[in-house]
Amino acid sequence: MSTNSSSAGDVRRVAFIGLGNMGGPMAANLAKAGHVLSAFDLSRSACDQAAAAGLEIAASAAKAVADAEVVISMLPASRHVEGLYLGSDGQPGLLPGIRPGSLVIDCSTIAPATSRRVALAAAQQGLSMIDAPVSGGTAGAAGATLTFMIGGEEEALTRARPLLEAMGKNLFHAGAAGAGQAAKICNNMLLGILMIGTSEALALGLANGLDPKVLSEIMRRSSGGNWALEKYNPLPGVMEGVPASRNYAGGFGTDLMLKDLGLAMESALATGAATPLGSLARNFYALHSAEGSGALDFSSIIGRFHHAQN
């Protein structure tokens, strides 16, 4: 570990932009660890929820970052991150308003090329930036057990480490700027595929009259065991506290999964990699979204195989 590593006890002034399903609880964990936060979201209700959790809300993103040593963003997609930092529709971006020498950590899942573009612009303003997309879902965000996949310079990661450790428990340095995003895209392509496969297998079992809890447990402890069966069963009534047990509200939206599979397809086209199941999975989620389920958690994809209410 390099010598300029911050000690875990260091208090940082942090601007946190994007207080949705993931960003809200992540910001709350940073505040709980003693950091001084100034938070912002374009959505009034996200701000109200974060304020109710004790966070100080800034009047704008520019105001949130004005005094910050570290800026963290957790936004939906590439265009939001690019718009925030570089500007859009004639509006200036945030980068020039961030104090030189500060650290920028983008935790959103976006295109690796966008991450690289924003990191380059940040470097030109005298800022260090890492991409640090996460895995672990809203439960991981709430419980500070997220996995971070990091792209960028070692020195920036060393500075970010105490903050990331307040929000998660596994940190992987995947490589240079954009590498965290590339790793995240591979992981989420697999997740999208395995949720469909798990749903298909559960629906087949139900069609054969099997008890969903018994079948889930058999597969969880057998060679079909996977993360969905461990932590995120898509069938209502099998597991407590997962989106399936609350009509697929909250969690990881179908439209976000669709975005991630789109990123995987772009990346496959750019590299010539074959991703037949990823392509099929993207089409499944696209149909699911087009038929009105875009805002539901992605595990609602099981509804295409089995209707829970029937």
Q: Which is nearer to ligand NAD, 80 or 117 (CB)?
A: 80
Instruction: Report the Cα 89 to chain-centroid distance in Å.
Output: 26
Residue 46 binding ligand NAD, by CB under 6 A: yes
In terms of Cα–Cα distance, which of 162, 166, 167, 184 is closest to 175?
184
Helix or strand (DSSP H, E) at 13? strand 13-17
Residue 216 binding ligand NAD, by CB under 6 A: no
In terms of Cα–Cα distance, which of 156, 35, 150 is closest to 102?
156
Shortest gap between Cβ of 231 and ligand NAD (angstroms)? Answer: 11
Name the segment binding ligand NAD (CB under 6 A); options: 70-78, 115-123, 203-211, 269-277: 70-78
Q: Which is nearer to ligand NAD, 80 or 288 (CB)?
A: 80
Q: How many CA atoms lie within 13 A of 308 on its CB side?
A: 17
User: 55 in helix, strand or coil?
Assistant: coil
Residue 256 binding ligand NAD, by CB under 6 A: yes
Question: What is the DSSP code string of 154-222?
Answer: HHHHHHHHHHHHTTEEEEEEEESTTHHHHHHHHHHHHHHHHHHHHHHHHHHHHHTT--HHHHHHHHHTS
CA distance 133 to 137: 11
Residue 137 binding ligand NAD, by CB under 6 A: yes
- CB-CB neighbours of 90 under 10 Å: 5
Phi, psi of 240 (to 5 degrees): -80, 150
Shortest gap between Cβ of 310 and ligand NAD (angstroms)? Answer: 28
Q: Do 298 and 192 meet the contact criterion of CB atoms below 8 Å apart?
A: yes
Residue 106 binding ligand NAD, by CB under 6 A: no
Residue 75 binding ligand NAD, by CB under 6 A: yes
- Which one from 63, 184, 213, 259 is the annotated catalytic residue? 184
Shortest gap between Cβ of 83 and ligand NAD (angstroms)? Answer: 6
- CB-CB neighbours of 49 under 10 Å: 17
Residue 16 binding ligand NAD, by CB under 6 A: no
Shortest gap between Cβ of 121 and ligand NAD (angstroms)? Answer: 16
Q: Which is nearer to ligand NAD, 85 or 203 (CB)?
A: 85
Residue 60 binding ligand NAD, by CB under 6 A: no
Residue 109 binding ligand NAD, by CB under 6 A: yes
Ranges of H-type helices in the chain? 23-32, 44-52, 61-65, 78-86, 112-124, 137-143, 154-165, 179-207, 212-220, 227-231, 254-271, 276-288
Tokens of 97: 């308003």
Annotation marks residue 169 as catalytic: no
Contact pick of 14, 22, 39, 264 for ligand NAD (by CB under 6 A) = 22
Residue 21 binding ligand NAD, by CB under 6 A: yes
Residue 201 binding ligand NAD, by CB under 6 A: no
Shortest gap between Cβ of 304 and ligand NAD (angstroms)? Answer: 20
Residue 150 binding ligand NAD, by CB under 6 A: no
Residue 104 binding ligand NAD, by CB under 6 A: no
Annotated catalytic residues are 184
> What does the binding site for ligand NAD look like in residue numbers (CB under 6 A)?
17-23, 40-43, 46, 61, 74-76, 80, 83-84, 108-109, 134-135, 137-138, 251-252, 256, 260
